[in-house]
Structures are given as C-alpha cells and as structure tokens.
Structure 1
Amino acid sequence: MADADVRDATPSDAADIARLQLATWRTAYADLLPPSVVAELDVGAAEARWREAVDGPVTVLVAEEGGQPVGFAAGGPAPAEESASADGSAPPDAGSVALVGTVLVEPRWGRRGHGGRLLVRLAQQLGRDGATRGIAWVAEADQATTSFFRGAGWAPDGTVRTLDAAGRPLRELRFSGPLDLELDLA
C-alpha cells in the first residue's frame, strides 16, 4: 500500500469530502436508500455543509493514500437527544459522550485500514476533548459498518430509531463503545 495518513481537515478539503460522501452513498448505500434520495444528492450543497462543519466545533479528519483523499470522519460532543437512553432519560455520563457522525471510506479504497485509522484518530481527539465514550448511529441493514464498529469493540446499546428515507423506513441501531482504541491492521 502507498503511504497512508490521517490528518485534520481544512476548509479546502470540503469539495473532496463532499465528493467522497456522495460517491460512497451512491455505491455503498444504493440498496439502503431509495433511488430518489440517491438521485437528489447535491455535491454543491454537501460541499457547503462540510465547509461549515470544518470551520465549526466538529472534528473532521481526512484519510489519504499517496496524498489522495480516500475517506473522512467527523465527530464531536453528542447532543442530548442523541445520547439519551431508550426511555429518553439522560445517561449518567451524558456530558462526556461523543457522537461519531460518520466514518466513510470510498468503497474502491476499502479494506486497506483507512476506516480504522480514521476511527482511532477521531477517538483520540474526542478523548482529548473530554469525551469518555462514543456513540454512532448505523443502519441496521448496513453489514459492513456494523461489522466495522463491532471490530472496534463497540456494540448496539439497545437504542434504535427509524428515519424516514423518502417514505422508506430506515432503522438505525445506536452503537456505543470506548474511545481508548488501538489500531490493529493485522
């Protein structure tokens, strides 16, 4: 494998992040999302959102291979509604829960350790910022991502939600896990 690295994103990365997100959604999520949702994905709007996120309180990272962006991750403090227990109550550690909003690697660059490097680096940063535990919402039918988080030592915590994806229900499981991760590419 060529030289691989993870670095902090800058506003100039917004176009690449948007391109990676849309390419991944169109490929990896084509069976999870209705065709109308995939068809309506707008790279310009996504780029504007990512430019704002990079300049905001969210940690955004970019994975590169050979100097080319191949994936990204984003996370930050979990909003109260995201970290709430299934009954809606705040967990005892609510103030120190981080939300991993996304870890995406363009499918053609998959299985090369980029996702693991992104999650480990993101977890380290979130931990330095005071988080003690991470959560991530994962589509129940997304076997690749559920396997990825399980491999990192995370597990569903019993909280589920169903999103409306253009009239098609999309059930998501909330995974929860430690932030003291170590990278094992063996």
Structure 2
Amino acid sequence: MSLKGKNIIVGITGSIAAYKACDAVRALVKLGANVECILTKNGAEFITALTLQTLSKNKVHACMFETPKEWEIDHISLAKKADVIAVVPATADIIARLAVGRADDLLSCAILASKAKIIICPAMNSNMLRHKATKKNIETLKSYGYKFVNSQEGELACGDKGDGRLAPVDEIIKVILKEA
C-alpha cells in the first residue's frame, strides 16, 4: 500500500473531530503521499495551521485571497494537482454548500473546480445527520460521484450517544487508498 506520487488534499472543517485529521495527514504522509491541507475558518477554531504544516511538511492553505509568492490561484492550482480531495471532518455546512454548488471559501472552490475523486467524511450531531436536509444533501453529493466514509455510532462531543462520530482514521485511509 503506497500513495507515492499521489497528491492528496485534506480539507478540515469546523468540527471537534478536526483533531483526528492530524492522524489522517500523518498516515497519508507515511504512505508516501504529498499532502496539502485546506483549513477552513471554522476548522481553525479547533486545530492550527502550524500543526497541519508540521505533519504535512507543506504550507497550509486557509484564505482565498492570500497574496501568493508566485502568480498562482490557489483554489485552481490545488484543484488541478489533486488526485483525491478528502474532507476530514465534513460538517453539515460544507455538505450543504457543496450540494448546491456554493463556492464561498477556498475548500468549496477547490472541490468545485476539481476533477479529482472527492471523499466526504461526515462528523456532526446525530440530529443534524438525520435531518431531512442533510440526508438530501448527502444523496445529492453521492449522485455527483462523491464517496462517503460513513460516520459511526458512539458518544458525541455534545454528550449524546448516536451516529455522527467521524469514521476511524484507518477506514478513511483505506478509502483514500482505493480511490487514489
């Protein structure tokens, strides 16, 4: 099992499960992948760009309008180079935005501009996951060809027990290996 020569973009959104993205990044690098991270504004409330930069050994992308060192449009260059874009964790918000084609941050723009395989790893409260709108959005993304690594049953950050925990990192890595 190797990802040598593969470019994997890991999108991190605003969920307590964002800390588990660090383990995913570390595992992907260990498998030989070139990993670049897109950290959303809400994702940065849970983990830091410095942590992801240290683990990925690459600059972390966070802002649509950052002044580049070279002439390059980040969301397009990331979209073009990606073999896989994995959103770990994926909140109800990013799932909804992608389902309607809303491109208002670096992660959603990169995904919409990419021909790469897209892997969505949901993590949210059970009620949010079971909401009709979220279920519809997930079905819409599946119809676009996006792959899902289903969340798990267990204790959630809010103290509830139920479906909504981020899938184990080893399961996420297995799907990335398969899709890359």
Place the TM-score, normalised by the shorter chain, in its bin: 0.3 to 0.5
TM-score, normalized by length of structure 1?
A: 0.33
Higher strand content, 1 or 2: 1
Higher gyration radius (CA): 1
